[in-house]
Amino acid sequence: MLNNIAALHPAAAALNSYESISTVTVGAGGQASIDFTSIPSTYKHLQIRGMATFTTATNAIILQNNSDTGSNYAWHQLYGTGSVAGASASTTTTFQNISVAPETTVTAVFVCDILDYGNTSKYKTSRSLSGYDKNGSGVIALRSGLWMNTNAITSLSLKYDSGGNFAQYSSFALYGIKG
């Protein structure tokens, strides 16, 4: 049945289509960025999975491709808090916003798909689902992003949007999805 779903929805992949590329677990003292480098070009899509706690309060986890810090990104989001729903967007910014990020005592989780990362004839898109629970006052968000560049993605960097560090035991995994 799962393969039938993948046939109907090409972005959905069978479970055996995912291969681990790299994992990072943050050590004592925290870490300012999570960098995945030398990403092989042998997959159709990429997926990042993360569980992150933060050393300072922040708004979001951001993504930059190939060390590009120029205004070559855009993103939009839909979110809900249990009592409020909203939407926001940003264009020509220096990053993609991929995950909600709570205060220092709560862990945020996210899954981010980066589609057609090796295709050199189009811009790169991403989609992510993220959230956290804070005894009923958490947030869930669905985001999409655009990197306005046709280069193949060979490295990814995850950071806070407002500085700070990922706290010890935060964990991230990069997967390649077969075509």
Can you give the pLDDT at residue 136? Answer: 76
Q: What is the DSSP letter of 17?
A: G
Report which of 81, 132, 129 is spatially closest to residue 108, judged by C-alpha positions. Answer: 132
Domain of residue 89 covers: 19-177
* Token pair 């050590």: residue: 27
Rounded to whole angstroms, the Cα distance separating 37 from 155 reads 4
Rounded to whole angstroms, the Cα distance separating 150 from 19 reads 24
Cβ 61 vs Cβ 128: under 8 Å: no
Residue 132 β-bridge partners: 139
161: tokens are: 């949007």
4 within some domain = no
21: tokens are: 């590329």
Report which of 179, 163, 170, 71 is spatially closest to residue 119, judged by C-alpha positions. Answer: 179
17: left (phi over 0), alpha (psi -120 to 50) or beta: alpha
Can you give the pLDDT at residue 121? Answer: 98
Mean pLDDT, the chain cut into blocks of 10 residues (179 residues total) = 48 78 96 96 97 83 96 96 92 93 83 98 97 87 97 96 87 95
Structural domains of the chain, count: 1
Can you give the pLDDT at residue 62? Answer: 94
Can you give the pLDDT at residue 138? Answer: 87
90 within some domain = yes
Cβ neighbour number for residue 94 with a 10 Å cutoff: 14
Output the domain CATH number for residue 31.
2.60.120
Can you give the pLDDT at residue 5? Answer: 47
pTM more than 0.85: yes
Can you give the pLDDT at residue 56? Answer: 80
129 within some domain = yes
Cβ 20 vs Cβ 179: under 8 Å: no
